[in-house]
Structure 1
Amino acid sequence: MIGPAAWRSFSRGPVRLAYAEAGAGDHPVVLLHGLAGTAQEWSATMRALSGSHRVVALEQRGHGHSTRMPQDVTRAAHVEDVVALIERLGGGPVTLVGQSTGGHTAMLVAAENPDLVSRLVMVEAGVGGGGDAALAPVERWLRSWPESFPDRDAFIDFFGGSPGAGDAWADGLQFDAGGLAPCWDADVLVETLRAVLVLPRWRAWESVSVPTYLVVAERSAIPSEQVERMLRREQVEHVTISGAGHDLHLDQPRAWLETLNGLLP
């Protein structure tokens, strides 16, 4: 779990953005969690890299310690948040790692700001699209969460998945009078995801000029035809993590860390 001393924050207008930082080095690594996630899911990654790299995990708007109910949840707002963070760290370039919707954000950042990104790592992330058909099951899942859980065991029973994923997601819950509560609002996250799914961002993908690594799970949530098209670009390398689902960095942490370490300078 990320300790209190690691946390920092800054503001962009009315939005407060929290991030955790560890380590030091000339090649910063910036980590972006997925929808409904928090920086806590990167705690093992931060520990593993902090001996050789400066590692920063952002809690994106609407999540975690950052502003819970921002008015603007557009893709542009998320991109500008990451750009502001990188500039705060010294202006890059950084290795930008994003999982799921965080990977979609990372792709857009790299496409629009190649001077800030030295390499892009997309973890179980694609170009978006899918519309309402893709949104509906995720929206049902988000709205199925109770307001709070009496304890960690109750949450892990509800969440399911691998033990590593359950523990990491539990670390991202916050204490309230009823127990442990999610640190996001379902309406905000639905609109956040809607902006990702409205259309596939193939033009942005074709604009990415930095070395790019597509890390997918054996039980990937990214449509196979989308992955196949993404891999047609020459600068893209592809790794599949066996025995993992969408939260591959939590399902198979050793394989994930071996993969990531192999990509870093």
Structure 2
Amino acid sequence: MLEVTKKLVNLLDLSPIGDDHFQGDSEDLGFPNVFGGQVLGQALMAASRTVEGRPCHSLHAYFLRPGNHSMPIDYEVQRVRDGGSFSVRRVIARQAGKEILTGSMSFQVEEEGFEHQFEMPDAPAPETLKSEHEWGKLIAPHAPEKMRKSLTRDRPIEIRPVDPVNPFKPEKRPPHKQSWFRAQGQLPDDPVLHQCLLTYASDFHFLGTSLNPHGVTFNTRNLQVASLDHAIWFHREFRMDEWLLYDKDSPSASAGRGFNRGNFFNQNGVLVASTTQEALIRQR
């Protein structure tokens, strides 16, 4: 496992601080606030620590306040119900006593049932694409100096975007995006860790799908963008150290909000997880 990936795995390895209470560190990715995927991944890890033998099948969370990446985050897990097949947990993330995220996670015993899925859409093979890190090095010389470190930093999650948007010269495009994702290096055989890593990564390149039709990006002046909520459904087993295609679309934007959907497929065309997110995309 690469050092940068090990750092992310350690970031998700929360410290117990009492009954069903955990604490996690924060990382600075060069964003103004804590990366939402980090809080989601840590929240799922906290809830998973209170459930045995039942993998998570869905997560629904709301971002309440921006997080401070210079402070740790406390996670309180509430055991809502343990039934014969399902367990439900509520998680509250806090910094300085204030809630920054609240969410619910549902866990289910493994069982057999009906099977169907959407077919995997066409996409270029990941080996034919440049990584986000490579694109960052190409555009860094043309970026403001304060952004260059963020563009060229080492990444634990390798992302290879299909037809990436130039963040400084955006053009209007259809509300659809694709990227290949995988963790750098081999990971332990821990299904919970793989779910938490996918949860972490699912917040990358997602919100921007709803910006595509409007020819704007995060760098556009007088544009306020923020994730409002995030949901994930885990359908089938997967590994985050193998390539996954993240296929995203945005069916609607209205009232200062953009709605995004996503599907993760492995290279064999198996649909392993689905996501949704609504985001604030407000012109000041």
- TM-score normalized with structure 2 length: 0.27
More helix by share: 1
Write 1 or 2 for the structure with the bigger share of strand: 2
TM-score of the two chains, using structure 1 as the length reference = 0.29
Structure number, greater radius of gyration: 2
